[in-house]
Amino acid sequence: MFPKSTGIERSFQYIRLITVIMAVSCLLFNGFVIIVSGRAVARAQEKIYVLAAGKALEAVAADRKENIPAEARDHVRSFHQYFFSLDPDEKVIRSNLARALYLADASALRVSDNLKENGYYSGIVAGNISQEIAVDSISLNMDSYPFYFRCYATERIIRPTTIVTRNLVTEGWLRNTARSDNNPHGFLIERWSILDNRDLKSESR
């Protein structure tokens, strides 16, 4: 009888041991799964998808400090694209100028008003002229605030009979502002001026 009870006791000890080992293993496995899942969720939250031209493009979220130079250059590029991209349509001109003027202060408005007073925009509409711009490069000084920039670009003025290519160099300063739908980068161009806008060549169509 004693050997039987001893065998039963050992069996219970083995069962307890196996149960403890299983419980500890389950806890360790659950902890491992929670840590891995947490890291995966954190990585997924750093990724966002932007819909552009009907395609979903993956983007990675980052601290703004890492992206300030890239965002500043894109802000300057966007402003110049809106300000100088013109077609012989009053609505298009007004729409592009309105977008551009959200990105800059009164210095850009003054240039726009001068062009308007000199009949530049009405001449584009009357002459069926289109104007395109290609930004070649943007130099940016991040050592002092507000940030100084100089933009180098090329303009193409497409008339019914000729295409005129112009050099365009502008400068200004960037200061931080709140982000909005009209100003997604959160910058404002100040003291903007045109340094050079001379003709480079003219060719017949």
State pTM to two decimals.
0.70
Range of the domain at 33: 2-48
Q: Helices 90-101 & 64-84, crossing angle to 10 degrees?
A: 150
| Model confidence pLDDT, tens digit, residues 10-25 | 777 778 888 888 888 8
Residue 44 sits in the same domain as residue 68: no
Comparing 32-36, 40-44, 117-121, which segment has the lowest mean pLDDT? 40-44
The candidate with the shortest Cα–Cα distance to 151, out of 98, 205, 104, is 104
- 151/68: higher pLDDT: 151
Identify whether 54 is part of a domain. Answer: no
Count of structural domains within the chain: 2
- Burial of residue 2 (CB within 10 Å: 0-12, 13-18, 19+) is exposed
- DSSP conformation class of 51: E
Residue 28 sits in the same domain as residue 118: no
Residue 88 sits in the same domain as residue 35: no
The candidate with the shortest Cα–Cα distance to 61, out of 51, 50, 69, 53, is 50
Q: Tokens for 170, please give them.
A: 């502008």
- DSSP conformation class of 166: E
- pLDDT above 70 covers a percentage of the chain that reads 83
Residue 130: predicted pLDDT = 96
Q: How far is CA 86 from CA 41, 92, 120, in A?
A: 45, 7, 11
